[in-house]
Structure 1
Amino acid sequence: MNTQENITWNNNTPSSTQFEDVYYSTTDGLAETQNVFILGNQLPQRWQQQKTFVIGETGFGTGLNFVATLAQWEKSAPQHAQLNYISVEKYPLSKRDIKKALNHWSELDRYVDELLQVYPSDVAGFHRLKLLKDRVSLTLMIGDAKQMYRQLIATVDAWYLDGFAPSRNPGMWSVELCKEIARLSQPGTTFSTYTAAGQVRRNLHHAGFNVSKVAGHGKRERLCGSFNQTPNLISQAPWFHPPNLPASNRKKAIIIGGGIAGISMAHTLSQSEWQTIILEQEDRVAAQASGNKAGIVMPKLTLDMDKYAQFHLSAFFYTVSWLRNLQSRQPSLDWHPDGVLELVDKQRGTQLAKLKLSKQVMQALDAEQASLYAGLTLEKNALFFPTAGWLAPANLCTTLLKDNPEIHVALNQKVSSLQQDADNTWHVSTQTKSYTADVVVICNGPSADQFQQTKHLPITPSRGQISDLKQTASAPTLLRPICYGGYVIPLSKNELLCGASYTSDDKTVALKKEDHDHNIKALRQHLPDLLTEQPQAHEGRAATRATTIDRLPLIGPVANESFYRIAYQDIKHGKRPHTFPLAQYHSGLYIASGFGSRGLTTAAIAAELVTNLINNKPLTLNTTLYHAIHPARFLIRTLRKQ
């Protein structure tokens, strides 16, 4: 995170010591933003004609351009329109510095406060943030501009090119970055910038933009223009290329499954004006694994921060922000963001501390410090995740339905088949009724591979059992959840929930004494002071979860298996990716499954990602992570080996 030493102040106007340049005009930064970037891209007139508008920016800085655009959007955009604002920042400012830098303009105070409420930690990567009651999505990419934009999947309508001066930060105006800006543009995409530097003009022209000089703000000239070429659809991974769903006037979606994954999906889709109906085979929602009394929301880190860890960290950031917003609207949400402890040995704790994550994300504690956070004596060191927490999954499900009463739920509807007719309408049959929709999203956990279209997906059921334990009055009071391979959650002063057992390829849900014994033994082994005596009764719950061999979920469009096997049969010979055709899917069919025991942390970002894909909006995950969770990845791996 940028500290005070990286910034100098002159009359509360910040300058970068590294680039020796100001963050905005010293005369009137807001007027420059309004004239150069907003009016320079013919806004707000252009967004009056679109339900979704996408702005890309090359330097977030103080956030001035963003909050000024936010204010203009709220004032002038159509009521149901949505703004997607994408920006990048290699050296993010602290909340304190942003607040100070934007303190000049009282008319922006409300928007600055809303930005600071969701402003992320300084962890590299994509951060998707929601503002103005979810009407605005901010994708803030922390890292090098060229690398971040290279990982972005989006189509931008207008560009704010606002890096530090080309002479001081040439990387923000390089040929390579201009090519990425062009890749993310379409015919009619505009740009505007404060500079008139010749190299910038040449780089943009070479990338495919018409470039013009116009009167500048506080200077003689500046550049603006528009993209004039057909987008280049050559892909380095054509088998994962996002689908292009045909526009529909009906916008009706069926969600199969009424657990956390399905209800989160319906809730997110409905926020973008989709009519959603959930088909649940049981007589109530959250009847399967989502019916557990409690679960933990936290990241899962690895020493090398592989794709698994990166995905779960991104999902964690998104979910915490999502839950915060939901709880602000629905105080009945039983969300406890009081932090979570993870016991680690000294070596692992030291290694993970080398990741140098912000203290807002993770803190390494010795056993004495960890004991204070836990409320009882611990023998091991621990990692503390201060923004993590626990919640009741069933309460989350009912809260989401309460938050959007337009979601329709049909119970006792076990889906038997999916069929698509010639006009791409889906027909979903249950034992009693047939439903039609433009889009179907499969969210029924370990049963997600039951359909003809999904039978190729390697989903394995995994049984998990949790144990509900009663505490005696003399037992210590656990202050927050602790993970130790298993986990324990303090539901109340006198009640603990611990778990969970793991049995692959087991769909039985009857409680097993040996699994209770396993859970209690693990709890006693790691937290011997927590249970003062043997629990009087074994209570708990068992459910089946969907897992995959690489432990990552299946999120995205469902591949047309026959097309893949023919079109990509030569992939094993090492042919260059651009020689293969773009992927073909079952149009309008998506899946979100394979979450394992991490559904509470990952279901929300899965819903956001699938909604992005359906609506052709910027993806919330970078390209690497999107490919890592793509449902077709196992097909491609099989074809590579044949």
Structure 2
Amino acid sequence: MSTNQKSTPGTKLTPAQVEWQEDTPVSVEFDDIYFNKAGGRAETEHVFLNANQLTPRWQQLRPRDHFCIAETGFGTGLNFLCARDLWLKTAPADAHLHFFSCEKYPLCRNDLQTALEHWPEFKVACDHLVAGWPPAAEGFYTLEFDGGRVTLTLALGDAANMLAAFDGTVDAWFLDGFAPSRNPDMWSEALFNEIANHSATGTTFGTFTAAGIVRRGLADSGFKVAKAAGFGQKRDMLTGSFEQIDKEITRPPWLVRPEPQDNARKAIVIGAGIAGASTAAALASRGWQVDVLERRAEAALEGSGNPQGALYLKLPKDPTRQGELHLQGLHYSGQLVRCLAEESPDTGQICGLLSLALTPQERKRQQQLLDADRYPAELVRPVDAEEASKIAALEMGAGGLYFPEGGWASPRLLCRQLLSHPLINCHFDTAVSSLTYNESQALWGINDKQFSAPVVVVCSASDTAKLEPLSFLPLKPIRGQTTQAPRPAKVNNLRTVVCGEGYISPPLYDQYCYGASFKVNDLSSEVRQEEQEHNHELLARAVPTLAENINLETASGRVAFRATSPDYMPIVGAVPDLAWTVDRFDRLRRDARWTFEPGMKHLPGLFVNAGHGSKGLLSCPISAQVIAALIEGSPLPVTRAVADAINPVRFTIKKLVKGTI
């Protein structure tokens, strides 16, 4: 992909072709080594850690500060591993490092694992990296290390394109990648422009090369560049820092991020479902004291209260923002479930997922997806009915698509684990009836000041819009009923999640959970026999043997309400000042293309994380990280386009353009 093409999230990439020479990986395409045979770690420390003066800079950080490193070639991950190791040794214990790294030709998992065996001192991090290694598909993939102290976002794709999609300010650059003489396409004007766009006064860089194209490109984009002694036999390298220059702002002002709210480090989260528990955990892992208010007697008793839910995404034939979010969310939630399941196996399992083609319409859709040939096999591949049955250990009603990284989670157990952080204090049986802002104290008061904090995140599904500052949000509940039935002893246990017209997961506590009905404009919480029978009919078409052996008379049902938005994207981000926004951007009623001067006003410290519908297990955890980053002013773990697509202000802007507000 050239740097002037648009990014196409999810599209399969060409994996790196590696030749092993004396136990050292060499790129076949670029005929260059991945790390120095004479001392790879020492070279990283010289070229990147020392050139960016990371040791003294990190020793001077204040508690709870955040720092961002961006890199132009992840390779084997050695630079990341060395930076993480230094961070843990020198930075304050509650400071946060975000490491953003681009890679157009990712190693396959086996080559990565073999390469990392060179560094046994990093074994814990290496094992975590290999376990969380994403498919070779373009996009952002975020992994958490060390209890949230270190975040790694792997941006797979062309470096200039990935940086253009990145929302964050970089403190130090690791300009790595193969030498300009071997990989000239990467070292482009577009890349240097994006490096400048994401730098601030004092941002530093280090790079192994002293080539003129790199020196001139950095100097022309605003860096003060100097030569320094190279590593080993290499005579020169480059280092330097950014000198502030005027940058042209091209984004609509209503999409500007809110002012950081990271001084008080005290927040209230309303709601203890997946959205609320994920948000509270994301903030707590960054050193925030969090009070969680929940109207029910314990966590996850409403929309997040089903015994099991599927980690499942429906991939689009052509790129969409929803597909991009769900792909990023599948990877992030999968790593979260794997991590929590190490402590409590009942939390969930990444056991794969079958999406069966049970109808002519679904067969056509899946065939179109396969014909587009966009996605790598490690993300999704076709299976016939025979192979699907072998994967599931039960006869399947059809073939379809297999997602190796799919699985299931117990929302209730997931929430309990997330809320067990020592900095989280849960207040159950606490309904929230009012939310008001005291400007003189810069505090939000809840229930006539029963609780107060400078930051509040509302995560209460469709009830979110019942609070006055958020009443403009178009959230609606959709009723869904699931069926729970004892595991029949006469047939094999299902070994993978199966989705078709409904879904079913492997048994948990000797119970199967399957369904679910989908009822719009129906607020009844009554369990209905006809919906139990409907769920069973869906199961019979997907897994006939299992349905034949389940006695529906011994089954129970559960009703929950999903909260959705008109565009079926979640609502995640800072809450705009509605009256100010309508007045400020009133010109959109007459001219949707009008260019406005910079300026946006949000309600200070108020955020929302809601509207996740039936895909909350995918979108809630990664959205919680978006919320934490917005509050602190740190880099986002998702692309800028996804952040814009879930921004709460979008509904107000659309109404202004249509003249309906």
Alignment coverage as a number of residue pairs = 638
2:349 alignment partner in structure 1: 336
Superposed counterparts of 1:160-559, under 5 Å: 160-217=174-231, 218-230=233-245, 232=247, 234-248=249-263, 250-328=264-342, 330-331=343-344, 333-344=346-357, 345-353=362-370, 354-402=372-420, 404-423=421-440, 425-430=442-447, 434-470=450-486, 472-474=488-490, 477-491=493-507, 495-532=511-548, 535-559=552-576
Quote the RMSD (CA, aligned, Å): 2.3
Question: Structure 1 538/214 Cα, relative in aligned 2: closer, same or farther at 3 Å?
Answer: closer
Question: Structure 1 450/3 Cα, relative in aligned 2: closer, same or farther at 3 Å?
Answer: closer
Secondary structure, aligned partner of 2:192: helix
Of residues 551, 562, 565, the one that matches 2:582 is 565
C-alpha distance in structure 2 between counterparts of 1:346 and 1:106, whole Å: 48
Secondary structure, aligned partner of 2:546: coil
Unaligned runs of 5+ in 2: 1-11
Residue 16 of structure 1, CA deviation: 2.0
2:38 alignment partner in structure 1: 27
C-alpha distance in structure 1 between counterparts of 2:529 and 2:433, whole Å: 34
C-alpha distance in structure 1 between counterparts of 2:118 and 2:547, whole Å: 57
| Structure 2 counterpart of 1:401, one-letter code | L
C-alpha distance in structure 2 between counterparts of 1:379 and 1:95, whole Å: 33
1:16 alignment partner in structure 2: 27
Question: Structure 1 557/424 Cα, relative in aligned 2: closer, same or farther at 3 Å?
Answer: farther
C-alpha distance in structure 2 between counterparts of 1:287 and 1:123, whole Å: 36
Of residues 130, 144, 160, the one that matches 1:116 is 130
Deviations, residues 416-437 of structure 1 (Å, cap 9, x unaligned): 2211122463333238x62110
62-71 or 180-189: bigger deviation:
62-71
Deviations, residues 566-609 of structure 1 (Å, cap 9, x unaligned): 22222355566763323321111110110111112221111111
Residue 449 of structure 1, CA deviation: 0.6
| Structure 1 counterpart of 2:419, one-letter code | L
| Structure 2 counterpart of 1:384, one-letter code | Y
Of residues 74, 86, 92, the one that matches 1:72 is 86
Contact 1:470–1:535 at 8 Å: present in 2 too? no
Deviations, residues 88-135 of structure 1 (Å, cap 9, x unaligned): 000001233233334444444444334223222212100111122321
C-alpha distance in structure 1 between counterparts of 2:437 and 2:475, whole Å: 23
Question: Structure 1 598/103 Cα, relative in aligned 2: closer, same or farther at 3 Å?
Answer: closer
Secondary structure, aligned partner of 1:148: helix
313-322 or 112-121: bigger deviation:
112-121
Contact 2:47–2:208 at 8 Å: present in 1 too? yes
Contact 2:257–2:630 at 8 Å: present in 1 too? yes
Question: Structure 1 134/549 Cα, relative in aligned 2: closer, same or farther at 3 Å?
Answer: same
Residue 3 of structure 1, CA deviation: 8.5
Question: Structure 1 153/5 Cα, relative in aligned 2: closer, same or farther at 3 Å?
Answer: closer
2:655 alignment partner in structure 1: 638
Contact 1:446–1:461 at 8 Å: present in 2 too? yes
Secondary structure, aligned partner of 1:45: helix
Contact 2:340–2:347 at 8 Å: present in 1 too? no
C-alpha distance in structure 1 between counterparts of 2:396 and 2:439, whole Å: 63
Residue 550 of structure 1, CA deviation: 1.2
2:610 alignment partner in structure 1: 593
Unaligned runs of 5+ in 1: none
Question: Structure 1 31/375 Cα, relative in aligned 2: closer, same or farther at 3 Å?
Answer: closer
C-alpha distance in structure 1 between counterparts of 2:411 and 2:213, whole Å: 55
Secondary structure, aligned partner of 2:241: strand
C-alpha distance in structure 2 between counterparts of 1:574 and 1:165, whole Å: 48
C-alpha distance in structure 1 between counterparts of 2:244 and 2:354, whole Å: 53
| Structure 1 counterpart of 2:577, one-letter code | N
Of residues 99, 113, 137, the one that matches 1:85 is 99
Contact 1:53–1:157 at 8 Å: present in 2 too? yes
Question: Structure 1 233/325 Cα, relative in aligned 2: closer, same or farther at 3 Å?
Answer: farther
Residue 295 of structure 1, CA deviation: 1.2
Question: Does 2:60 align with 1:49?
Answer: yes
| Structure 2 counterpart of 1:37, one-letter code | F
Contact 2:16–2:107 at 8 Å: present in 1 too? no
Deviations, residues 341-372 of structure 1 (Å, cap 9, x unaligned): 11115443333334453343223110111112
Task: Tell me the TM-score normalized by structure 1.
Answer: 0.94
98-107 or 515-524: bigger deviation:
98-107
Question: Structure 1 327/538 Cα, relative in aligned 2: closer, same or farther at 3 Å?
Answer: closer
224-233 or 37-46: bigger deviation:
224-233
Contact 2:14–2:105 at 8 Å: present in 1 too? no
C-alpha distance in structure 2 between counterparts of 1:532 and 1:545, whole Å: 29
C-alpha distance in structure 2 between counterparts of 1:449 and 1:352, whole Å: 37
Deviations, residues 383-424 of structure 1 (Å, cap 9, x unaligned): 22222222222111222223x133111122211221112246
Contact 1:473–1:494 at 8 Å: present in 2 too? no
Contact 2:16–2:105 at 8 Å: present in 1 too? no
| Structure 2 counterpart of 1:95, one-letter code | R
C-alpha distance in structure 2 between counterparts of 1:96 and 1:527, whole Å: 34
Deviations, residues 287-346 of structure 1 (Å, cap 9, x unaligned): 211221221112221222422112111111000111222233x32552122222111154
1:137 alignment partner in structure 2: 151
| Structure 1 counterpart of 2:83, one-letter code | T
C-alpha distance in structure 1 between counterparts of 2:327 and 2:180, whole Å: 34
| Structure 2 counterpart of 1:243, one-letter code | P
Question: Structure 1 518/580 Cα, relative in aligned 2: closer, same or farther at 3 Å?
Answer: farther
Deviations, residues 470-507 of structure 1 (Å, cap 9, x unaligned): 45544554333311121123425964322111112322
Question: Does 2:624 align with 1:611?
Answer: no
Secondary structure, aligned partner of 1:98: helix
Question: Structure 1 242/70 Cα, relative in aligned 2: closer, same or farther at 3 Å?
Answer: same
C-alpha distance in structure 2 between counterparts of 1:394 and 1:246, whole Å: 30
| Structure 1 counterpart of 2:55, one-letter code | P
C-alpha distance in structure 1 between counterparts of 2:55 and 2:237, whole Å: 20
Contact 2:480–2:560 at 8 Å: present in 1 too? yes
122-131 or 353-362: bigger deviation:
353-362
C-alpha distance in structure 2 between counterparts of 1:101 and 1:410, whole Å: 48
Contact 1:270–1:276 at 8 Å: present in 2 too? yes
Contact 1:186–1:231 at 8 Å: present in 2 too? no
Residue 446 of structure 1, CA deviation: 0.9
C-alpha distance in structure 1 between counterparts of 2:215 and 2:441, whole Å: 45
C-alpha distance in structure 1 between counterparts of 2:86 and 2:230, whole Å: 21
C-alpha distance in structure 1 between counterparts of 2:651 and 2:50, whole Å: 47
Question: Structure 1 180/574 Cα, relative in aligned 2: closer, same or farther at 3 Å?
Answer: farther
Question: Structure 1 381/425 Cα, relative in aligned 2: closer, same or farther at 3 Å?
Answer: same
C-alpha distance in structure 2 between counterparts of 1:102 and 1:370, whole Å: 34
Residue 438 of structure 1, CA deviation: 1.3
Task: Tell me the TM-score normalized by structure 2.
Answer: 0.91
